[in-house]
């Protein structure tokens, strides 16, 4: 038998034209168009997601960097090394310098402790600095100018144009600081702010040997240049680099948002790839006899690959163009709900999303399509007469899996969260498939009606195929549920982090004799406040007579409520010298109470035993502290001990007074202490801050209203972004489920004809189909709920480091969703499948 080849009388161009027309016809009239749709779906989804992720991440990074006024900040307790600025200029980075210190400001009628920031004319490199004067709004500080925080005008009884003494310098007040880009929880920097120019710093004479001063250098430029500068800088004691991810509360939010964005993109790619695999397998099953017939007419493997490759090139080209266009439109639609919070000038993404989407589609298509088509080309010619003949297994084709695997190795690198997630998902898919087969086997042991018995028989006929179908259906339902649950848990955590009624002002250094009057003044104005807390600053020195390393950095300071995350604690120390724990670098805030704070939870031991101390669980783990240990402390050179009676979980980010160590009153009540209270100032109550400052001039007020508003704005922005991305992920999952069900239904066509030939009625066949898919949907929905809860619990606990919460609605919602999808698919296809049965 001769092979199909180019006839001698037929010119090659004519032959290629005929082959091209045949390929086009096969693409549109054959069964290859579902593959094209699946490939287009991958490109469109990856394009839209990657473009939106790049834009949203760019906005989040910009917001985070605006919070530190630059792309990178070098902070030190020592004067800035000249080589640092020289190296930055050589690399083409924009720079700005700042000197920050506390001092007294004197007017003719009053005095006030202030935080002075000496900046140059380039400050800020990021974010907005708004300075209001009678001449309008300014955005940079010029030599000879003095700008005050709004509440200083009342505290110092001054107005614009008056003279104010800062150290030895007398400067004319230029106007009001309306908005600053830099915000932090450092009480030293949260004193009322004063801005002067760097040229006027020397004449203040405020910086003397032993003065508490902080120096900062700000840099703006390309990330690679910034990383090189940071790598080339040797840190001394008191030095630290700051970025948008090290700023405690906002850094934590940004990092978790990035993790979720990346995870959502991976899960969407997985679901779209599964759709492509299913459609490819379906195409192979429909074209097996065609290829066998072509082989019987003499077609060689080379000719078949040429025939298929033309179709694949056409298919991929169309999918790349259509997917890019659809993805661009989809990304625009996804941005519409975010229009109110996204900036007008969004970060440009260029052609990167299209290139990424095409590359991802190519990498997943190589094994997804290549393995299936390899199997198709290997179909023997005898399959024309014996369609069920087995194709010899060729292990070489599975080498195509190396392409996406190697790409994943390069892409994920050492991202442990991604690798653990992927490994867990694949293991869980296998387990769920096996469980599904076992459940069907158990159900088959019971007595059912004829239709249900036939449905169970059909499901269990091929355990491998049944397991694969159940695993695919379960996994798709599980993945879309995981995407939505993670989004819900993240938003819930952020809402608890900064609820709408969170305190936004702290009153510090309240003298014991002022405490009752201060609380009464707040209560008279119906201000929502916390209880009063006595505060003493001290150090932990020993655990069970074992001395702890205690290092004091010159820039060390604790937050007023000790409510710092690990990164915030690091940020306050200003040192990179390794110690056992950052809490050992500085004095901590101690307090005593008879009752447990309502926002703390005891997780071990009992509260309130005499001579005891309750320890926050995080610092207990880091320092190896356990129940029953004897701890030694020092306060103002006075040593004392306490026994650990309980361990507490503390939410450090809720802007409430929180402490590492809370003692029983008998341990510390005899020591002199000042008091702390937090409260919330609502819109329209701004005057109360100034009134409190006048009535209690020795009390320090930490006003976090601007910070809270900015953080809430960022959280709103990220929350909406995650909701939109989660919605797209769920839609991708639903498309996968519907594709799976439609292909599975299409495969029933021959079986339905056989049932009819054997005498089965239309009603019996209809009942069997409903029973089969109803059972599969119910089993898949229940197992998907189990799998989703397990995956989310693992990701939340070890990946995002959040408290694990149950989601009762999943146990009902996911099975109902699976049944609803089955109803939609069966109702749309059953009538067509039963056409041969109509009389």
**Is residue 272 in a domain?**
yes
Residue 390 has which token pair? 């087995």
DSSP string, 326-363: HHHHHHHHHHGGGTTTS-SSPPP-TTHHHHHHHHHHHH
Cα torsion through 387, 390, 392, 394, rounded to 10: 90
- 325 phi and psi, to 5 degrees? -65, -45
**Is residue 249 in a domain?**
no
124: preceding bond cis by omega (within 30 degrees) = yes
Would you say 45 and 268 are in contact if contact means Cβ atoms under 8 Å apart? Answer: yes
Q: Of 362, 373, 379, 363, whose CA–CA distance to 397 is shortest?
A: 373
Where is the domain boundary, 384, 413, 442? Answer: 413
Instruction: Return the bridge partners of 137, or none.
Output: 132
Q: Of 441, 23, 69, whose CA–CA distance to 218 is shortest?
A: 69
- 102 phi and psi, to 5 degrees? -105, 140
Residues contacting 420, CB < 8 A, separation 6+: 794, 798, 799
DSSP string, 577-622: ---S-GGGGS-EEEEE-SS--TTEEEEEE-TT-TTEEEEEHHHHHH
Answer positive or negative: Cα dihedral of 253, 44, 733, 287: negative
**Is residue 549 in a domain?**
yes
Residues contacting 730, CB < 8 A, separation 6+: 480, 483, 484
Alpha helix stretches (DSSP H) within 445-581: 450-460, 463-497, 512-524, 566-573
Residues 173 and 30 in one domain: no
Burial class (CB in 10 A: 0-12, 13-18, 19+), 832: exposed
CB neighbourhood size of 599 (10 A):
14
SS3 138: strand
Q: What is the pLDDT of residue 550?
A: 45
Inter-CA distances, 513 with 355, 402, 509, Å = 69, 74, 11
SS3 373: helix
Residues 59 and 73 in one domain: no
3-state secondary structure string across 611-655: CEEEEEHHHHHHHCCCCCCEEEEEECCEEEEEEEEEEEEECCCCC
Residues 660 and 762 in one domain: no
Distance CA(309)–CA(684), nearest Å, equals 71
- 103 phi and psi, to 5 degrees? -160, 175
Q: How many angstroms from the chain centroid is the CA of residue 145?
A: 42
Residues 314 and 430 in one domain: no
Where is the domain boundary, 413, 429, 462? Answer: 413
Distance CA(141)–CA(133), nearest Å, equals 12
**Is residue 733 in a domain?**
yes
Would you say 484 and 730 are in contact if contact means Cβ atoms under 8 Å apart? Answer: yes
Residues 11 and 87 in one domain: no
Domain count, the chain: 4
CB neighbourhood size of 59 (10 A):
20
Residues 119 and 237 in one domain: yes
Distance CA(642)–CA(663), nearest Å, equals 8
Would you say 518 and 834 are in contact if contact means Cβ atoms under 8 Å apart? Answer: no
**Is residue 248 in a domain?**
no
Residues 564 and 481 in one domain: no
Q: Look up the domain containing 354 and give its range.
A: 1-64+254-413
Answer positive or negative: Cα dihedral of 341, 347, 350, 353: negative
- 516 phi and psi, to 5 degrees? -60, -45
Residue 463 has which token pair? 């355990």
Residues 43 and 79 in one domain: no
Residues 387 and 316 in one domain: yes
Distance CA(94)–CA(73), nearest Å, equals 12
Where is the domain boundary, 243, 275, 292? Answer: 243
Residues 376 and 398 in one domain: yes
**Is residue 630 in a domain?**
yes
Max Cα separation, the chain?
Answer: 112
Residues 273 and 358 in one domain: yes
Q: How many angstroms from the chain centroid is the CA of residue 779?
A: 31
Crossing angle of helices 463-497 and 762-794, rounded to 10°: 40
Would you say 85 and 74 are in contact if contact means Cβ atoms under 8 Å apart? Answer: no
SS3 514: helix
Would you say 192 and 182 are in contact if contact means Cβ atoms under 8 Å apart? Answer: no
**Is residue 283 in a domain?**
yes
CB neighbourhood size of 763 (10 A):
9
Q: Can you list the residues of the chain whose pLDDT is less than 50?
A: 1-12, 14-15, 186-189, 550-578, 837-839
Residues 603 and 520 in one domain: yes
Q: What is the pLDDT of residue 771?
A: 78
């Amino acid at each position: 038998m001769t092979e199909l080849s180019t006839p001698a009388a037929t010119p090659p161009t004519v032959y290629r034209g005929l082959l091209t027309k045949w390929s086009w016809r096969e693409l549109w009239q054959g069964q290859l168009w579902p593959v094209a749709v699946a490939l287009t779906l991958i490109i469109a989804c990856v394009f839209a997601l990657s473009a939106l992720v790049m834009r949203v991440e760019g906005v989040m990074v910009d917001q985070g960097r605006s919070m530190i006024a630059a792309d990178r900040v070098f902070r030190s307790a020592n004067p800035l090394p000249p080589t640092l600025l020289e190296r930055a200029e050589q690399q083409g980075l924009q720079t700005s310098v700042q000197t920050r210190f506390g001092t007294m400001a004197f007017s003719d009628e009053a005095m006030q402790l202030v935080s002075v920031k000496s900046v140059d004319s380039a400050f800020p490199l990021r974010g907005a600095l708004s300075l209001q004067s009678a001449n309008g709004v300014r955005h940079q500080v010029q030599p000879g100018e003095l700008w005050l925080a709004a509440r200083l005008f009342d505290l110092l009884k001054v107005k614009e144009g008056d003279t104010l003494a800062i150290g030895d310098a007398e400067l004319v007040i230029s106007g009001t600081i309306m908005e600053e880009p830099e915000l932090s929880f450092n009480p030293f920097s949260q004193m009322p702010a004063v801005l002067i120019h760097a040229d006027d710093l020397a004449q203040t004479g405020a910086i003397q040997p032993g003065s508490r001063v902080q120096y900062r250098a700000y840099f703006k430029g390309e990330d690679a240049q910034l990383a090189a500068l940071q790598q080339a800088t040797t840190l001394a004691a008191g030095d630290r680099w700051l970025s948008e991810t090290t700023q405690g509360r906002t850094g934590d939010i940004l990092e978790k948002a990035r993790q979720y964005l990346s995870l959502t993109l991976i899960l969407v790619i997985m679901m779209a790839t599964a759709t492509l695999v299913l459609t490819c397998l379906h195409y192979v099953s429909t074209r097996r006899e065609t290829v066998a017939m072509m082989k019987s007419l003499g077609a060689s493997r080379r000719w078949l690959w040429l025939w298929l490759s033309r179709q694949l090139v056409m298919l991929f080209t169309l999918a790349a163009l259509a997917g890019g266009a659809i993805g661009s439109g989809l990304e625009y639609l996804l941005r519409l709900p975010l229009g109110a919070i996204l900036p007008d000038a969004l970060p440009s993404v260029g052609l990167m999303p299209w290139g990424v989407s095409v590359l991802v589609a190519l990498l997943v298509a190589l094994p997804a399509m290549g393995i299936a088509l390899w199997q198709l080309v290997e179909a023997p010619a005898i399959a024309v007469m014996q369609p069920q003949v087995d194709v010899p297994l060729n292990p070489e084709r599975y080498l195509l899996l190396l392409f996406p695997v190697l790409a994943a190795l390069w892409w994920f690198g050492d991202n442990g969260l991604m690798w653990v997630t992927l490994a867990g998902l694949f293991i869980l898919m296998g387990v769920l498939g096996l469980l599904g087969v076992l459940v069907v086997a158990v159900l088959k042991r019971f007595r059912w009606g004829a239709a249900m018995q036939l449905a169970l028989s059909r499901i269990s006929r091929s355990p491998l195929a049944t397991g694969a179908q159940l695993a695919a259906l379960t996994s798709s339902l599980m993945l879309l549920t995981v995407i939505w649950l993670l989004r819900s848990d993240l938003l819930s955590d952020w809402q608890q982090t900064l609820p709408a009624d969170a305190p936004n002002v702290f009153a510090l250094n309240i003298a014991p004799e002022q405490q009752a009057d201060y609380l009464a003044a707040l209560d008279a104005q119906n201000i929502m406040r916390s209880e009063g807390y006595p505060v003493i600053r001290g150090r932990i020195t020993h655990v069970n007579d074992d001395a702890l390393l205690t290092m004091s950095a010159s820039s060390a300071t604790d937050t007023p409520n000790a409510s710092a995350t690990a990164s915030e604690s690091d940020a306050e120390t200003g040192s990179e010298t390794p110690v056992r724990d950052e809490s050992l670098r500085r004095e901590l805030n101690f307090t005593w109470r008879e009752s447990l704070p309502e926002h703390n939870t005891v997780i071990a031991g009992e509260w309130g035993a005499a001579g005891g101390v309750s320890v926050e669980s995080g610092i207990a783990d880091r320092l190896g502290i356990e129940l029953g240990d004897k701890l030694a402390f020092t306060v103002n050179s006075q040593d004392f001990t306490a026994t650990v009676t309980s361990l507490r979980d503390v939410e450090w980010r809720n802007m409430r007074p929180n402490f590492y160590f809370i003692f029983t009153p008998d341990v510390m009540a005899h020591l002199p202490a000042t008091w702390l209270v937090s409260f919330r100032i609502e819109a329209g109550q701004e005057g109360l801050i100034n009134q409190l400052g006048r009535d209690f001039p020795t009390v320090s007020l930490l006003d976090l209203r601007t910070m809270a508003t900015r953080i809430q704005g960022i959280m709103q922005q990220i929350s909406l972004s995650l909701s939109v991305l989660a919605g797209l992920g769920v839609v991708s999952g639903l498309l996968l489920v519907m594709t799976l069900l439609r292909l599975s239904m299409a495969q029933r066509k021959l079986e339905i004809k056989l049932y009819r030939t054997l005498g089965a009625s239309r009603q019996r066949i209809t009942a069997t189909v409903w029973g089969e898919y109803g059972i599969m949907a119910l089993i898949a929905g229940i197992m998907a709920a189990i799998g989703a809860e397990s995956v989310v619990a693992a990701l939340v606990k070890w990946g995002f480091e959040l408290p694990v919460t149950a989601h009762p609605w999943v146990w009902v919602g996911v099975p109902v969703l699976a049944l609803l999808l089955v109803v939609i698919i069966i109702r749309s296809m059953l009538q067509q499948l039963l056409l041969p049965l109509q009389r």
